Each structure stands twice: as structure tokens, then as C-alpha cells.
Amino acid sequence: MRAAVDSAVVLDVLLDDPEFGERSMRLIEHHLGRGAVTICPVAFSESAACLEPPSGFIDVCEGLGFSYEDFDPEVCSLAAQLWRDYRARGGSRRRILADFLASLVPDRPDPPVPVDGATFGVATMTENSPHGGEMHPDGDEVLYLISGRIRVVFLDDPVDDIEVLPGVGLVVPQGMWHRVDILEPSQIAYLTPGPNNEFRQLTESA
């Protein structure tokens, strides 16, 4: 029999919760006695985030007898570190998923991958693009912020600018001129239609 352990149970044990710590440990031991206990990537990362360094949770899993399949514990440790850093900076987001996705992005994500007439990729940006705006006549563009903070500015339409936080995506309608302002270092996943894309020259007011 195989059981999956939740991060809440693991944290009870790691943090020696006075009410649930011993009970959760007995629960883990009970299921280990009946078969394998596995931990999923997100539960791993949420649990590892309470340790310094988070990679120490790999040894904890080995000591507890947890197994994990189809994911790299080093990737999950990186997600936990991203989460710790974000919270230490005063971040208010309470879910680790965006950090987990960011940890899966390779160090060199370019060149982007073409998908069905569009371009899919992940841009790591610390400053604005060297142009004054862009427009995609072939279709809508999809943006998803993995980490950081950006503002999408609509240039020729009476549409309010949109400040985007991690875990939030938006669709830029076909033919709408826009630019992305980088408010803090960011990783942005994008699906951009092509091949006809237009750009404006950078001006001092852009």
C-alpha cells in the first residue's frame, strides 16, 4: 500500500508541534509500516522552506523513509529557497507554486520554443526591453509572471495599466500596442503569436 504525505503532517514533525507533532509522527510510522510513503513536489518544497538550507530536507526525507518519484529533489529545494527569500523580503503571497515553477526554468531558457505558429519561452528580465512598445497583429499574446513584479502599459487604448504579481497571467489582445515595465527582477513566461510582430523605437518618455 502506498500513501502520500501532506506538508502539514511533515511540518508538525519538523517544527515539533506541541499538539500534533507526536500524533503526526505516529501517523507517518503507521503508513510506513504498511508500505511506501511518498511526498509530492509541492509538499516537499513547502516542508523544505522551514529549514536552512532547504536542501537539508533531502536528508530528512531519507531519515523518515519517504520516497519521491518523477521529480528532482534538488529542484524542489531551489523552490523552497526562492520561497524563503521572497517571504524574507516581506512578500505576502501564501502559496509556493510560483516559486516551484520558477525553479523548473533552466538557467539558459533561450532560444524560445516555437509552438504552433507562436513562440513560447521564459524571459528573465532585470530591466525594460530596449524598445518603446510592441504589437502582435497575428493574435493575442499570453503573459504569465513566474516571479518578480511587472506593469503592463497599454499605449494607444484607454485601458488602465495592469500591475502583475507572481502567479498571475493576462492576455494582451491582438493588435494592441503595449510594453512591459520591469518593477523588480522578473521571470515571465510568454506565448507570442507570429511571425509578424512590430516594435516602436525607444523614446525618453517610454
Summarised one tens digit per residue, pLDDT across range 27-74 is 899 888 888 888 878 788 888 888 888 889 999 999 989 987 666 777
User: For residue 169, what are the domain limits?
Assistant: 113-200
> Which residue in 53, 59, 60 sits closest to 10, CA to CA?
60
Residues 41, 78: one domain? yes
Tell whether 206 is covered by a domain. no
Tell whether 108 is covered by a domain. no
Q: How far apart are CA 51 and CA 81, in angstroms?
A: 9
pLDDT digits (tens, 9 = 90+) for 158-169: 889 999 998 889
Residues 96, 6: one domain? yes
Domain-terminating residue out of 80, 103, 126: 103
**Mean confidence (pLDDT) of the chain:** 82
Domain-terminating residue out of 103, 127, 150: 103
Lowest-confidence range among 88-92, 126-130, 137-141?
88-92
pTM above 0.85, yes or no: no
Tell whether 165 is covered by a domain. yes
Residues 32, 76: one domain? yes
Helix (H, G, I), strand (E, B) or coil at 96: coil
Which residues make Cβ contacts (< 8 Å) with residue 89, sequence separation at least 6?
A: none
Are 127 and 182 spatial neighbours (Cβ–Cβ below 8 Å)? yes
Domain count, the chain: 2
Which pLDDT does position 115 carry in this prediction? 55
